[in-house]
């Protein structure tokens, strides 16, 4: 009977990850059933249960891939498995009783991620380039002496990358401002790689308001380019309390953010 429920398991997995309540803990099976009811309203419960039984394994794989991707980008995943019960999904802002005060504060601020990312995405081009120059040393302290480039030739900012106390190399950076829903593919990685070779920069960095495709991230590693997306930028702003006002409950202030930027 499960074939009568015409839903793509990949769509179910994406929906669970993107719509999972940030401050909740639920069983995976429950999440699948609730999502199926939302995406296929009016479906028979027995059909939904059989469908959930059939796709549990693939949904678990999708969640595992999501966790792995976010950990690679040094971001807290949107959902992760409970330490006490690996059949339960936990939202990244879910506060545990044994969480330190610092961890609790960070989880509360993570609720502001989308708002901060939207504020970054709405910046004028010049302000976004300025943001990249100010923020990149906070994302990785090895990026130093960062400054914008007047005659860019495909390079928006550049500086020195500290490999060790005795070894320093030049880096080249690009600031890419697109809509949050856009995905940056390998072509932009190739363009920066070409510009780097023309100017003899050893490594590169692209900071973007949107996301990179898996192919772009793979190529970036091969070309020694650091790909930093809009969510990573928003996370670093939050970690650094830039634009965050905390009076019991943290809020994001665009006025404070713009004051820091200028």
Instruction: Please give the model's pTM, rounded to 2 decimal places.
Output: 0.89
Residue 67's alpha-carbon distances to 9, 17, 87, 162, in angstroms, are 18, 10, 15, 30
Per residue in 3-18, pLDDT tens? 568 899 999 999 999 9
Which of the listed residues 39, 63, 94 is the one where a domain comes to its end?
94
How many folded domains does the chain comprise? 2
Residue 81 lies in a domain: yes
Residue 109 lies in a domain: no
Beta carbons within 8 Å of 198's beta carbon, 6+ residues apart: 153, 154
Per residue in 159-207, pLDDT tens? 999 999 899 999 999 999 998 789 999 999 999 999 888 778 999 999 9
Residue 104 lies in a domain: no
Find the angle CA(148)-CA(151)-CA(152) to the nearest 5 degrees: 65
Residues 75 and 139 in one domain: no
Which of the listed residues 94, 123, 153 is the one where a domain comes to its end?
94
- Tokens in use for 73? 């980008």
pLDDT at 53: 94
Which of the listed residues 94, 129, 144 is the one where a domain comes to its end?
94
Supply the range of the domain harboring residue 72.
2-94
Residue 84 lies in a domain: yes
Mean pLDDT of the chain: 92
Per residue in 45-90, pLDDT tens? 999 999 999 999 999 999 999 999 999 999 999 999 998 899 999 9
User: Is the pLDDT reported for residue 2 higher than 60?
Assistant: no
Residues 131 and 246 in one domain: yes
Helix (H) or strand (E) holding 19: helix 9-19
Residue 102 lies in a domain: no
Report the CATH number that the domain containing residue 222 is assigned in CATH: 3.40.1350.10
Residues 154 and 30 in one domain: no
């Amino acid at each position: 009977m499960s074939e009568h429920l015409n839903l793509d398991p990949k769509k179910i997995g994406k929906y669970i990850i993107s719509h999972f309540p940030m401050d909740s803990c639920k069983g995976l099976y429950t999440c699948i059933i609730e999502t199926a009811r939302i995406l296929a309203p009016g479906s028979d419960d027995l059909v939904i249960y059989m469908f959930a039984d059939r796709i549990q394994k693939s949904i678990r794989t999708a969640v595992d891939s999501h966790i792995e991707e976010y950990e690679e980008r040094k971001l807290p995943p949107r959902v992760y498995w409970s330490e006490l019960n690996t059949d339960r999904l936990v939202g990244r802002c879910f506060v545990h009783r044994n969480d330190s005060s610092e961890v609790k504060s960070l989880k509360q601020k993570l609720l502001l991620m989308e708002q901060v990312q939207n504020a970054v995405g709405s910046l004028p081009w010049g302000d976004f380039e300025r943001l990249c120059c100010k923020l990149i040393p906070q994302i990785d302290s090895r990026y130093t002496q960062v400054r914008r480039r007047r005659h860019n030739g495909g390079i928006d900012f550049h500086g020195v990358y500290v490999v060790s106390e005795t070894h320093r190399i030049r880096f080249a950076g690009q600031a890419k401002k697109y809509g949050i829903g856009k995905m940056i593919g390998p072509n932009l990685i190739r363009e920066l790689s070409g510009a780097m070779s023309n100017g003899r920069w050893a490594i590169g960095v692209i900071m973007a308001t949107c996301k990179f495709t898996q192919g772009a991230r793979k190529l970036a590693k091969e070309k020694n380019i650091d790909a930093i997306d809009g969510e990573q930028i928003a996370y670093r702003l939050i970690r650094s309390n830039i634009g965050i006002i905390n009076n019991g409950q943290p809020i994001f202030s665009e006025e404070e953010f713009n004051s820091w930027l200028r």
